[in-house]
C-alpha cells in the first residue's frame, strides 16, 4: 500500500521538476523513519507538509521535531522552504522566515498553520502567533527562483 503522504510529496516534487529548466538533483532527509524533507541541487532545503482535508481551510501541524529539522536544514543550506500541499486545491510555498514569523508552540509540543483560499484568489496564511500580510500565490515559484539564483 502506498502511504498517503507520498502522493502529496510527489505532487510537490513534480511541480518543481516541471517548472525547473535544466537538471535537478533531489536528495532525501528522513525524520524518525518518515520522509519529510529534501535537498534540491545540494543547495536548497524543502520540507513538504500536506493536508488531506478536501475543503478549506487547510490546517498543518508543526511538531518540535519538524521545527528542529527545519532549523537543522537552515544550518546546512542557506535557503529553506516549506511547501504546504492543500489536498488537490494546490500548494503554497513559504520561506523558513515566514514559518517562524507565524508559528508559536507555547506550552504544547506542536503548533499549527492554517491556509485558506476563496475561489479564484491567492492563499491567506495564518499561524498561532500571527497572520502573514498579503496573500500568497499558488505554486513553487519561490523554490525555482532560489534554485536559479544558486546556480549562478
By the 10 Å C-beta count (0-12 exposed, 13-18 middle, 19+ buried), 116 is classed as middle
- Look up the pTM and report it: 0.92
Q: Is the dihedral of CA 18, 21, 25, 30 positive or negative?
A: negative
Q: Assign residue 35 the CATH number of its domain.
A: 3.40.1350
Domain count across the chain: 1
CB-based contact 146:16 (threshold 8 Å) = no
C-alpha distances in Å from residue 56, one per residue of 18, 25, 50, 84, 119:
26, 33, 13, 13, 10
Mean pLDDT by 10 residues, the chain (152 residues): 91 96 88 78 95 94 88 92 96 95 71 92 92 95 95 78
| Whole-number Å distance between alpha carbons of 91 and 104 | 22
- What is the spatial distance between Cα 133 and Cα 55, in angstroms, rounded to a whole number? 23
Going across the sheet that includes 110-116, the strands are 58-63, 110-116, 124-127
Q: Which residues contact 78 (CB under 8 A, 6 or more apart)?
A: 43
**pLDDT at residue 34 in the model:** 67
Tens-digit pLDDT profile for residues 124-147: 999 988 999 999 999 999 999 999
Q: Residue 146 is part of which domain span?
A: 4-150
Amino acid at each position: 500500500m502506498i502511504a498517503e503522504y507520498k502522493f502529496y510529496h510527489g505532487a510537490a516534487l513534480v511541480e518543481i521538476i516541471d517548472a525547473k529548466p535544466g537538471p535537478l538533483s533531489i536528495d532525501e532527509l528522513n525524520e524518525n523513519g518518515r520522509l519529510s524533507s529534501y535537498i534540491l541541487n545540494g543547495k536548497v532545503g524543502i520540507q513538504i507538509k500536506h493536508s488531506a482535508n478536501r475543503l478549506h481551510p487547510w490546517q498543518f501541524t508543526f511538531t518540535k521535531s519538524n521545527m528542529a529539522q527545519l532549523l537543522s536544514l537552515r544550518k546546512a543550506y542557506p535557503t529553506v522552504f516549506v511547501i504546504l500541499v492543500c489536498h488537490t486545491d494546490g500548494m503554497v510555498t513559504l520561506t523558513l522566515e515566514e514559518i517562524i514569523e507565524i508559528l508559536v508552540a507555547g506550552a504544547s509540543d506542536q503548533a499549527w498553520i492554517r491556509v485558506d483560499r476563496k475561489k479564484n484568489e491567492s492563499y491567506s496564511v495564518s499561524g498561532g502567533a500571527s497572520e502573514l500580510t498579503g496573500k500568497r500565490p499558488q505554486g513553487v515559484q519561490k523554490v525555482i527562483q532560489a534554485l536559479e539564483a544558486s546556480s549562478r
